[in-house]
């Protein structure tokens, strides 16, 4: 039998507080995410409250979502906020040119988003339209949303049903400005960013301002933006986008279902490259003018696979592979808890690596949803350094550490440990030394096949099962099945 892997948790080496915002979500107008997935309108037969479907809202409430980024993404640079306010019957019918020229009825606009976030207890992250809007339009939007006093725009908000202002916690000026956000050179964007950041103000407390930065392969773009002499006064953070493709080919990313073991392995290998992307980016920040509080915002990440016939809805199935990819990334973010201020998985419902899939009145929770549910105790916990000699998975030239572990101390004084076995075919035994009597409770998500998933026909095919163990001094021993994510809480007596 293979040797047990010993896992040492270094409670004397705290890394930092895991910002709850690391568990952030991303809500863009794409495919059936907003319309059907969240917003069905007041007249729908699907049970809803103020137009938001009840089943999806209830499922999302369980996740303690800390923050939601809206309205895009690429769509943010086509969005004109005045199209989405006022009586539903008078909303502008537009076309979503960012995502396949689909209908954009504007039923879900500013009021719907801010009320939705408020009811979920989530902070708000607004992405303003830099590429096809004006600074004046954005400035008016901020006034409409946040101004408490007398002004025509604040009064318009009141007429439209909201007396109190809402809060914009985070603000991004532009999105992927190297691509769909305008194909700008870094210097051109830096100048425009600086101009907008100078003008844009909210009523009340100012939001954290985030520069739209790099994707994984153009870190230099961010380095150049940060050479603008005023950036440290005009911004509090910068973003990184990193998508995991099973292959390395944007034209043939790989399939959501029915993939081979080798494609599982390349997916894991590509996921683990997030570590280099984050570390390289942090080096860029260290070498720039910004100070230690300046945050890294991984405000888009997740699995991106082929959609049928180039369908622009970005709808994809979600398997245990997605669950493992989510957990590997979250562990990695915990390892950088001192520097990562927020991350937003792409995306929340029906788009890319979604928490939830819907079809008409039906709803399915994905393996990624369950990982987010299991990881809730990590929000706000203190991350610790962990060491182990992970067994290595190796096949046909692809090799990676099969195990990933993260440990933290939560507000109840318990130690929480997340263990991922990313090996597609082999289980691994672990031991965790503990002192004194401990009761261990936990949840384990395991895929019986490489592409185990929930469907509308079989909505509960994959779900976490509960674990309960005891240790009296010595070790906690556990077998981690291939393709599994386990979260344990160690309670001392």
Query: Which residues are known catalytic residues?
Result: 176, 300
**481 SS3 class:** coil
182 sits near ligand AHR (criterion: CB under 6 A):
no
DSSP strand pairing (48-49 vs 94-96)? unpaired
Is 180 or 398 the residue whose CB approaches ligand AHR more closely? 180
- Closest distance of CB 146 from ligand AHR, Å: 25
* Angle of helix 261-272 versus helix 274-287 axis, rounded to 10: 10
8 A C-beta contact, residue 107 and residue 41: yes
Return the structure tokens found at 104: 């954009």
Q: How far is CA 343 from the centre of its chain?
A: 5
- Closest distance of CB 178 from ligand AHR, Å: 10
Among 15, 38, 59, 74, binds ligand AHR (CB under 6 A): 74
Among 176, 224, 401, 451, binds ligand AHR (CB under 6 A): 176
With CB under 6 A as the contact rule, which of the stretches 66-74, 84-92, 361-369, 473-481 interacts with ligand AHR? 66-74
User: Which residue's structure tokens are 């393996």?
Assistant: 367
Is 71 or 165 the residue whose CB approaches ligand AHR more closely? 71
- Closest distance of CB 65 from ligand AHR, Å: 17
Among 51, 73, 207, 442, binds ligand AHR (CB under 6 A): 73
With CB under 6 A as the contact rule, which of the stretches 68-76, 161-169, 284-292, 401-409 interacts with ligand AHR? 68-76
With CB under 6 A as the contact rule, which of the stretches 69-77, 89-97, 216-224, 397-405 interacts with ligand AHR? 69-77
Is 41 or 312 the residue whose CB approaches ligand AHR more closely? 312
Sign of the dihedral defined by the CA atoms of residues 389, 395, 398, 404, in that order: negative
With CB under 6 A as the contact rule, which of the stretches 46-54, 60-68, 345-353, 452-460 interacts with ligand AHR? 345-353
- Closest distance of CB 247 from ligand AHR, Å: 17
- Closest distance of CB 375 from ligand AHR, Å: 21
Residue 57 burial class via C-beta count within 10 angstroms: exposed 0-12, middle 13-18, buried 19 and up:
middle
Nearest partner of 74 among 99, 49, 42, judged by Cα: 99
- Cα dist. 275→227, 268, 337 in Å? 24, 12, 13
Among 21, 28, 112, 423, binds ligand AHR (CB under 6 A): 28
- Closest distance of CB 78 from ligand AHR, Å: 11
Is 181 or 391 the residue whose CB approaches ligand AHR more closely? 181
Residue 149 burial class via C-beta count within 10 angstroms: exposed 0-12, middle 13-18, buried 19 and up:
exposed
* Nearest-angstrom CA–CA distance, 100 and 28: 14
Return the structure tokens found at 55: 């089943």
Is 347 or 383 the residue whose CB approaches ligand AHR more closely? 347
8 A C-beta contact, residue 277 and residue 214: no
Query: What contacts 80, CB < 8 A, 6 or more positions away?
Result: 129, 133, 137
Among 25, 106, 175, 235, binds ligand AHR (CB under 6 A): 175
- Closest distance of CB 47 from ligand AHR, Å: 29
**24 SS3 class:** strand
8 A C-beta contact, residue 167 and residue 206: no
Is 73 or 367 the residue whose CB approaches ligand AHR more closely? 73
Is 72 or 377 the residue whose CB approaches ligand AHR more closely? 72
Among 211, 346, 348, 417, binds ligand AHR (CB under 6 A): 346
Is 180 or 257 the residue whose CB approaches ligand AHR more closely? 180
- Closest distance of CB 73 from ligand AHR, Å: 3
Sign of the dihedral defined by the CA atoms of residues 252, 254, 255, 261, in that order: positive
How many of the chain's residues bind ligand AHR (CB under 6 A)? 10
Among 20, 24, 37, 72, binds ligand AHR (CB under 6 A): 72
Among 77, 300, 414, 451, binds ligand AHR (CB under 6 A): 300
* Nearest-angstrom CA–CA distance, 459 and 385: 37
* Nearest-angstrom CA–CA distance, 57 and 62: 9
Return the structure tokens found at 19: 């910002």
Could you list the residues that contact ligand AHR (CB under 6 A)? 28, 72-74, 175-176, 300, 346-347, 352
């Amino acid at each position: 039998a293979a040797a047990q892997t010993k896992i040492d948790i270094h409670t004397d080496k705290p890394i930092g507080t895991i910002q709850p915002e690391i568990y952030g979500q991303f809500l863009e107008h794409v495919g059936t995410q907003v319309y059907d997935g969240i917003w069905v309108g007041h007249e729908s037969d699907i049970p809803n409250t103020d137009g938001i479907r009840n089943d999806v809202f209830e499922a999302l409430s369980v996740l303690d979502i800390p923050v939601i980024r809206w309205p895009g993404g690429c769509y943010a640079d086509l969005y004109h906020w005045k199209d989405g306010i006022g009586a539903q019957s008078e909303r502008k019918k537009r076309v979503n040119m960012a995502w396949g020229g689909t209908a954009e009825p504007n039923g879900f606009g500013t009021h719907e988003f801010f009320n939705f976030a408020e009811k979920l207890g989530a902070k708000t992250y607004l992405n303003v339209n830099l590429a096809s809007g004006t600074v004046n339009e954005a400035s008016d939007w901020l006034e409409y949303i946040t101004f408490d006093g007398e002004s025509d725009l604040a009064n318009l908000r009141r007429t439209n049903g909201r007396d109190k202002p809402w809060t914009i916690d985070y603000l991004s000026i532009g999105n992927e400005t190297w691509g769909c956000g305008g194909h700008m050179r870094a210097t051109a964007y830096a100048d425009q960013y600086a101009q907008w950041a100078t003008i844009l103000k909210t009523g009340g407390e100012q939001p954290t301002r985030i520069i739209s930065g790099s994707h994984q392969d153009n870190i230099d773009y961010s380095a150049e933006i940060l050479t603008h002499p005023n950036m440290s006064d005009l911004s509090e953070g910068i973003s990184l986008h990193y998508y995991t493709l099973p292959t390395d080919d944007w034209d043939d990313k790989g399939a959501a279902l029915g993939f081979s073991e080798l494609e599982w392995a390349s997916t894991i290998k590509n996921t683990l490259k997030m570590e280099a992307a984050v570390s390289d980016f942090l080096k860029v920040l260290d070498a720039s003018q910004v100070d230690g509080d300046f945050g890294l915002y991984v405000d888009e990440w997740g699995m991106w696979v082929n959609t049928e016939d180039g369908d622009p809805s970005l709808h994809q199935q979600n398997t245990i592979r997605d669950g493992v990819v989510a957990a590997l990334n979250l562990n990695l973010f915990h390892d950088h808890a001192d520097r990562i201020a927020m991350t937003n998985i792409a995306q929340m419902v029906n788009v890319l690596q979604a928490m939830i899939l819907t079809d008409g009145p039906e709803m399915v929770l994905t393996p990624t949803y369950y990982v987010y549910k299991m990881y809730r105790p990590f929000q706000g916990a203190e991350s610790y350094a962990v060491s182990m000699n992970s067994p290595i998975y190796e096949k046909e030239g692809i090799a990676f550490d099969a195990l990933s572990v993260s440990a933290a101390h939560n507000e109840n004084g318990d130690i929480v440990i997340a263990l991922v076995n990313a090996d597609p075919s082999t289980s691994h035994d672990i031991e965790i030394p503990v002192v004194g009597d401990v009761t261990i409770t936990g949840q384990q998500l395991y895929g019986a096949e490489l592409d185990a998933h929930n469907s509308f026909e079989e909505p509960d095919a994959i779900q976490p099962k509960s674990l309960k163990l005891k240790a009296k001094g010595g070790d906690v021993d556990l077998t981690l099945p291939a393709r599994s994510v386990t979260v344990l809480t160690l309670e001392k007596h």
